[in-house]
Every structure is written in C-alpha cells, then in structure tokens.
C-alpha cells in the first residue's frame, strides 16, 4: 500500500479541480502537487547529493567501492 489517501485525492481532483477521471489518472504526482498549490519538488543538486551521501554512507554495507 502506498500510504496515499486515493479517495481524498480523487475527490479533490474531480470536484475541486474539475478533472475528468482519465485526466486525473494521467497526471504525475508532481503535476498533481502543482495543481493543488503545493509546488514542485526542487531538483537534486550536487550539494544536496553530497549532503545525503554524508548522512547515509554506503561504506561497510557489503559494497565494494574500489
């Protein structure tokens, strides 16, 4: 299960946004977020990637880095 409240998302999409069901199901999650006013997820920058690598290192997890 995805953890998303699909009935609520469908009500908003069909009722508030006035979408037809086929148009709702063709949307990507990012497109739906933008239409609902939540904005887009910012792109992953090199600095953010390096921050994540430091926070969640792969070393010692059975991976051969060399």
**pLDDT at residue 29, as a whole number:** 82
Answer yes or no: is 63 within a domain.
no
Cβ–Cβ < 8 Å for 58, 66: no
Answer yes or no: is 32 within a domain.
yes
Answer yes or no: is 60 within a domain.
no
First to last CA, the chain: 38
Answer yes or no: is 29 within a domain.
yes
Answer yes or no: is 44 within a domain.
yes
Answer yes or no: is 11 within a domain.
yes
Cα–Cα distance measured from residue 26 to residue 18, given in angstroms and rounded to the nearest whole number: 14
**pLDDT at residue 51, as a whole number:** 93
Cα–Cα distance measured from residue 22 to residue 39, given in angstroms and rounded to the nearest whole number: 23
> In terms of residue numbers, what domain contains 26?
6-55
Answer yes or no: is 1 within a domain.
no
The structural domain count of the chain equals 1
pTM passes above 0.85? no
pLDDT band at 1 (very low <50, low <70, confident <90, very high): very low
CB neighbour class for 9 (10 Å; exposed up to 12, middle 13-18, buried from 19):
middle
pLDDT, one tens digit per residue, over 6-64 is: 899 899 999 999 999 999 999 988 888 889 888 666 788 999 999 999 999 987 666 55
């Amino acid at each position: 299960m995805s953890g998303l409240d699909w009935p609520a998302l469908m009500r908003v999409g069909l009722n508030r946004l006035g979408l037809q069901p086929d148009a709702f199901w063709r949307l990507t999650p990012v497109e739906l977020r933008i239409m609902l006013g939540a904005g887009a997820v910012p792109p992953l920058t090199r600095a953010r990637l390096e921050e994540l690598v430091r926070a969640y290192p792969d070393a010692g997890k059975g991976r051969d880095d060399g």
